[in-house]
């Protein structure tokens, strides 16, 4: 199942697609991927290389794509 999420609090067009794979997820995105522990931030740069794989063993995180 694929979920497309609009960039929270930013202009539309910075899409993030998240797919479940095995015991984690793979995140495909345009621009720079950022993560935060809470939706309100602070947001930190993760990578600009898409796709990005995340283990399900990690704590809950929020992700967004930025320019």
Q: pLDDT tens, position by position, for the chain (67 residues)?
A: 234 444 444 555 557 888 888 888 898 888 889 999 998 889 999 987 888 998 877 678 888 888 7
Q: What pLDDT does residue 23 have?
A: 86
Contact 65, 29 (CB under 8 A): yes
Q: What pLDDT does residue 50 have?
A: 85
Q: SS3 letters for the chain?
A: CEEEECCCCCCCCCCEEEEEECCEEEEEECCEEEEECCCCCCCEEEECCCCEEEECCCCCCEEEEEC
Q: What pLDDT does residue 6 have?
A: 45
Q: What pLDDT does residue 3 have?
A: 44
Contact 17, 28 (CB under 8 A): yes
């Amino acid at each position: 199942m694929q979920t497309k999420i609009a960039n929270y609090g930013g202009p539309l067009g910075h899409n993030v697609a998240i797919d479940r794979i095995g015991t984690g997820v793979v995140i495909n995105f345009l621009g720079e991927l950022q993560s935060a522990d809470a939706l309100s931030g602070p947001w930190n740069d993760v990578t600009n290389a898409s796709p990005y794989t995340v283990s399900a063993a990690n704590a809950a995180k929020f992700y967004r794509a930025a320019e």
